Each structure stands twice: as C-alpha cells, then as structure tokens.
C-alpha cells in the first residue's frame, strides 16, 4: 500500500452566506505516492491543487472518497487521530507561516521535534542546522518570524516542515519566494527526504524545480467535476 493514497475523492464548497451557492471543485480524484517518491500536482490556477493538498492534510473535509495516509483514512478519522498523524507521520509546508506572535524562529522550527518527544537540545540543534543551511541569518533566530520578509518566513516554514523525518510530506509551493541559492537548498532537502524513503506530494509552479526533484506529475484538471 502506498504511503499516500487518494481514491474517489469529491469536494465542493457550499457558501451558505452567498445564497447557498455550491461550487464543485474535485470529482473522483485519485493518486498514490509510494515511499521514496516525489509526485507533483499540476493544473491551472483554480484547478484544485491546493484544495486536494489541504484535504490530504485534513484541513478541508472530503465530500466523498478515501484519503489514506500511513494507513489512516483522513476522510473519516476523528480529529485526535488526525492530530496524531500530523504530529509524527504527516508533515506539511504551507505557503504561509502562521505562528504565535513572540515565539522565536528557532523555537518555531524546533516545535515539531519537541512535539514528538525529542530532547530540547536535540530539537534546537536540528533547528540551528536547518536554519543555517537555509541561510537565515543567525541574528534573526531569536526573533519572531512575524516581522520577517516573505522569503525569510518561507525558509522558517520549510525548516519547520523538514525538522522531523515525516514518512509523508506535503509541500505547497515551497520555493515560490526564494532566490536561486535557497531554492537549490530546498530542492536538496526534498532529495534527501526522498532518499530516506519519504513519500512527497508537492505543488511547484517552477517547472525546472519539478523536473529536478519529481518522479512524475498528476494533473488535477483530470478531476474537474463535469457540469450537470
């Protein structure tokens, strides 16, 4: 069984505050990502790439279908099962960093390791190593990322996503606002995660990045609902 398996997945949004308008986004979506594989989601803006990614993360509810991540059916699991899955098996690098104001960047990065019971020393050590690799100046480590530039925030977000060796990893535009040098660092991190056997599903707008790290592509346009 693949690490990430999606089958027969439907999604629509019902906007109660806008006359109950129903917006179908995905119908019958299916894909599988094996251990050690990196798969890119492609498709035009609005095709449902991020929606599909968010459903796999348990952030959006599934209308119908099955989402298996490390054997847990995210579409049916209780919240606490999803929390446990996110804590130790399913990593996620979102496009935007959302953190508690005042928490230093170093702590933000170390947090996923502390959550799985790592020692404080080990967690902070790993966080320092990642922030160093991602060229985040050391003078920023003790500061809250809320005041950082977009690119700096994204690097904190990436370091956080790669802190713990999750068997499944979701990457939503991890290189979008990075310069060439840092983009290369991120792609190397992806390579390393793949080499240790992680199943990775990513959205990369940059075709060169896709060609560099992805084994294959899944075009979500194929899951567009057929108008009634």
Partner 1 sequence: MGAVTQAGAVGAAAMVAEAAGADGLGTGGPGTGGPGTHGGDRPLLSAERLTKRYGGRIGCGDVSFELWRGEVLGIVGESGSGKSTLLSCLSGHLAPDTGRVLYDAGDGSVDTLALAEAERRRLMRTDWAFVHQNPRDGLRMGVSAGGNVGERLMGTGARHYGNIRAAALDWLARVEIAPDRIDDRPSAFSGGMQQRLQIARNLVTGPRLVLMDEPTGGLDVSVQARLLDLVRGLVREMGLSAIVVTHDLAVVRLLADRLMVMKDGHVVEQGLTDQVLDDPQHAHTQLLVSSVLQV
Summarize as ranges the residues that interact with partner 1 (CB under 8 A): 13-17, 54, 58-61, 79-80, 82-84, 87-88, 98, 100-103, 114-120, 123
* 183/223 with CB nearer partner 1: 223
Shortest distance in whole angstroms from residue 168 CB to partner 1 = 17
Q: What's the CA gap between 71 and 4, in Å, rounded?
A: 8
Looking at beta carbons only, is 109 or 189 nearer to partner 1? 109
Element (H, E) at 72: strand 72-73
From CA 3, how far away is CA 32, in angstroms rounded?
8
> CB of 11: closest distance to partner 1 in angstroms?
9
Give the shortest CB-182-to-partner 1 separation in angstroms: 27
| Pick 2 or 82: Cβ nearer partner 1 | 82
Q: How far apart are CA 47 and CA 52, in angstroms?
A: 10
Nearer CB in complex with partner 1: 123/198: 123
Which tokens go with 49? 């790439």
Query: DSSP character for 226?
Result: P
Question: How would you class 82 by CB atoms within 10 Å of its CB: exposed for 0-12, middle for 13-18, buried for 19 or more?
Answer: middle
Residue 24 in 3-state DSSP? strand
CB of 211 to partner 1, least distance (A): 31
- Of 43 and 112, which CB lies nearer to partner 1 in the complex structure? 112
User: Whole-number minimum distance, CB 149 to partner 1, in Å?
Assistant: 18
What letters, b where the CB count within 10 A reaches 16 and e where it falls short, cover 106-118? Answer: bbbbbbbbbeeeb
């Amino acid at each position: 069984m693949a690490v990430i398996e999606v089958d027969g997945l439907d999604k629509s949004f019902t906007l109660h505050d806008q006359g109950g308008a129903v917006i179908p986004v995905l119908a019958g979506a299916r894909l599988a990502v094996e251990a050690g594989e990196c798969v890119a989601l492609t498709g035009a803006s609005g095709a449902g790439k991020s929606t599909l990614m968010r459903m796999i993360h348990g952030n959006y509810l599934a209308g119908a279908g099955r989402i298996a991540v490390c054997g847990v059916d995210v579409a049916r699991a209780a919240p606490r099962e999803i929390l446990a899955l996110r804590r130790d098996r399913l990593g996620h690098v979102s496009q935007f960093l959302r953190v508690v104001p005042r928490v230093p960047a170093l702590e933000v990065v170390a947090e996923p390791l502390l959550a799985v019971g790592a020692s404080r020393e080990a967690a902070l050590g790993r966080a320092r190593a990642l922030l160093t690799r991602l060229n985040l100046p050391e003078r920023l480590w003790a500061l809250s990322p809320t005041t950082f530039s977009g690119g700096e925030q994204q690097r904190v977000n990436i370091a956080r996503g790669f802190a713990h060796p999750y068997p499944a990893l979701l990457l939503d535009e991890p290189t979008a606002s990075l310069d060439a040098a840092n983009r290369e660092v991120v792609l190397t991190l992806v390579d390393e995660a793949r080499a240790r056997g992680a199943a990775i599903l990513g959205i990369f707008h940059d075709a060169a990045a896709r060609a560099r790290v992805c084994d294959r592509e899944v075009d979500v346009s194929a899951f567009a609902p057929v108008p009634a």
